[in-house]
Each structure stands twice: as C-alpha cells, then as structure tokens.
Amino acid sequence: MDKLQLDNQLCFKLYALSRKVIAVYRPILEALDITYPQYLVLLVLWEVKSITVKDLGARLYLDSGTLTPLLKRLEQKGILDRQRDMEDERSVVITLKPAGKDLLQNAKKIPETLGSCISLGQKEYQQLKGQLDSLLAQLTIDQS
Amino acid sequence: MDKLQLDNQLCFKLYALSRKVIAVYRPILEALDITYPQYLVLLVLWEVKSITVKDLGARLYLDSGTLTPLLKRLEQKGILDRQRDMEDERSVVITLKPAGKDLLQNAKKIPETLGSCISLGQKEYQQLKGQLDSLLAQLTIDQS
DNA sequence: ATTATTTTAATTTTGCACAATTAAATTGTG
DNA sequence: CACAATTTAATTGTGCAAAATTAAAATAAT
C-alpha cells in the first residue's frame, strides 16, 4: 500500500468529513444566524452561563486568536457580554444574555434534524465516538 | 442523554480531532515549508503530474476560492505551473515543476513519522477508515 | 518590598474555507 | 448562424485557525 496516496490518508478523510458535516450544519444554523464555531461556543454557554475565554478555549480546543473576534461578533449581536474579571483583570469573562438564552429553544431540534441527514446506526455511532475520543485524548496529553 | 451537550456531539469531536491531527503534521511539514492543504495538493500532483483546478477541487473537496490563492502561493515558490488549457480556455491546468517533484523524496518518510506520533492498531485503523469513508460517501452523493 | 517570572487576552499576520458575484468561453437550441 | 444557457475559474467579502508578538497584571523569589 502506498501510504502517500490520497485515498490511504486517514487524516485527509478526517479533514474532509469534518468539513462535510459542518456543511450539513450550515443551512440549519443559518436559521439562527450563527456559524458552526459560534454554535459550539453557545453549546458551552447554555451549560455554564458564564466562563472565561481561557476556559472556553480549553473546552473547544481553540485559542484566543480565534475566540476573541468570534466572541466580539456574538457580543455585537447582543447574544453575550464580554467583561474583565474584577478579581483577575487579565481574564475576560463571557456571560450569556437573554437573547442568547432564547436561542436554546430554536436549537433544541438541531440534533434530531442532523440525525435525519446522517444515517448512522446506534452501534456504529458509539463505536466511532469512542475511537474519536480515544485519539483526541491521545493527542491532548501534553497541554494541561 | 442530552444531545445538546458538547461531549455528546460527534461532529465536534470530528472537528477537534481533525485540527489536532493537522497540528501534528504542522512541524513535520514546516521542514518542507508547506502547509497541510498544500501537502494535500502535492499528494495529488505526485500521483498525476498534471490536473485542472476543477478536478483537483473534486478530489480534495475544495473549491476554486480556496485553491486559487493556495496554488498561486505554490506557483510563487516554483513548485508548480498554472496555465490555461489550450483546448478549453475556461480551465486552468496545474503542472508539477522539478522543485515540486523533488519534494516527494523529503515527503516519503512523513507517513511513518506520523504513525509514530499516533498509535493506532492496524484493526482500529482499518475500522476507522471504513467508517469515515462510508460517512464521506453518504454526504457526497448530491454533487457530481 | 523589589524584581523577575508567569499568566493572560489582545493584536497582528498569514493562510485557509466558502458563499456570492463576475467574466469569459463553450455548448446547446432553434 | 445567432443567441440563450451552461460551465468554469477568478474575484470579493466574511469568518475562522493558529503562530508570534505585545502589553498588562498577578504571582513568586529573594
């Protein structure tokens, strides 16, 4: 097997599939007027309400160079607030605003909608998730 | 199970892992002075030597808005040529130059280097590849 | 306490991604 | 042939990603 052949490259498939799945999300998220990375930020904020940029980045594996402009766009839309932590002025704390909380209702049906676009048996789903988790964990040891 | 929880999102794991693996490639490709998407273009060109932008995009699932500037950068480095097809002036044909061909020697050891960074059994590897292939095929039916 | 180190987010720069539009050339139709 | 429809790559504009630098503030060391 020629490992330099495109078809044999696991990473290429991962990269291509990741973009394809995000493309499936795109028209669905367009109804909420948000992008996929913005949706990920909201998934976290719907769970915790308030979080620093640093902690948000740790959960999404994204750095401030990516998050800061993204969060500013969400701030301009009135979805969240950005403010310095009083106790540690180096940190910026993100807080969900009512408009952002309201989006949760419209998002509730997204997982189901997506499931109907991508047919994947329960067993295969769990298996794939497990393998992705395992690889992700393997590549995440070095940065605390 | 709350399907709106970040940890339960298959797509997020796919997206995060894809970026993580590309991050593993980054220092390795830096030695060749190319990026990961540029490496993918070269993988195709090492196979076929010459190809139109359209066909290249079909193989990589990328459009001309992404490829045109990327190919211009590789052209400036002397790695490839871009020229209109004589027989159909709408098409642009990409041709590998000697400098690009030479890079193949330095790239030969990349799959092995990567394999040492990511430990994945032969069985799990084949299984994962199969699942990614299957999902990719499922999401690629609609565009010829 | 003073100074050095570390932590943190912003800023800057480069390079993808992709939607939408434009422009040019080919193909299809009458 | 003429002319509309289609195909194609380039262009334009917006939004990520991530490395490198900067600046500010907290923490640690002496």
Model pLDDT for residues A3-57, shown as the tens digit of each residue: 778 777 899 999 999 999 999 999 999 999 999 999 999 999 999 989 999 999 9
Our CA-based measurement puts residue B33 at a distance from the nearest CA of chain A, in whole angstroms, of 18
B91 CB and strand C closer than 7 A: no
pLDDT tens digits, one per residue of A113-130: 998 888 888 898 999 999
Give the pLDDT score at B141: 64
Q: Please name the nucleotide lying closest to A60, CA to C1'.
A: D17
Give one DSSP letter per residue of B40-109, joined into a string.
Answer: HHHHHHHHHSEEEHHHHHHHHT--HHHHHHHHHHHHHTTSEEEEE-SS-TT-EEEEE-HHHHHHHHHHTT
A11 CB and strand C closer than 7 A: no
Residues 6 or more apart in contact with residue A71 via CB below 8 angstroms? A41, A53, A80, A82, A94
Report how far residue A117's alpha carbon sits from residue A120's, in angstroms, rounded to the nearest whole number.
10
Report how far residue B85's alpha carbon sits from residue B92's, in angstroms, rounded to the nearest whole number.
6
Residue B96's CB is within 10 A of a number of other CB atoms, namely 23
Give the pLDDT score at A73: 96
List chain B residues with pLDDT less than 50. 143-144
CA distances from B39 to A8, A61, A62, A68, B114 (A): 14, 23, 23, 29, 14
State the DSSP code for B6.
Answer: G
Residues 6 or more apart in contact with residue B94 via CB below 8 angstroms? B41, B45, B50, B51, B52, B53, B56, B71, B80, B81, B82
Predicted confidence band at A143 (pLDDT cuts at 50, 70, 90)? very low
Give the pLDDT score at B2: 81
pLDDT tens digits, one per residue of A63-113: 999 999 999 999 999 999 999 887 777 889 999 999 999 999 999 999 999
Answer whether B129 sits within 8 Å of A60, measured CB to CB: no
| Residues A44, A56 contacting (CB under 8 angstroms) | yes
Q: Report the CATH fold assignment for A6-119.
A: Arc Repressor Mutant, subunit A (1.10.10)
CA distances from A19 to B42, B139, B141 (A): 20, 11, 15
Please give, chain by chain, protein residues whose CB is below 7 Å from any atom of strand D: A 35-38, 61-66, 69-70, 73, 88-90; B 15, 19, 22-23, 26, 52-54, 57, 64-65, 67-68, 71, 82, 90-92
Q: How many CB pairs under 8 A join A and B?
A: 142
Report how far residue B116's alpha carbon sits from residue B86's, in angstroms, rounded to the nearest whole number.
45
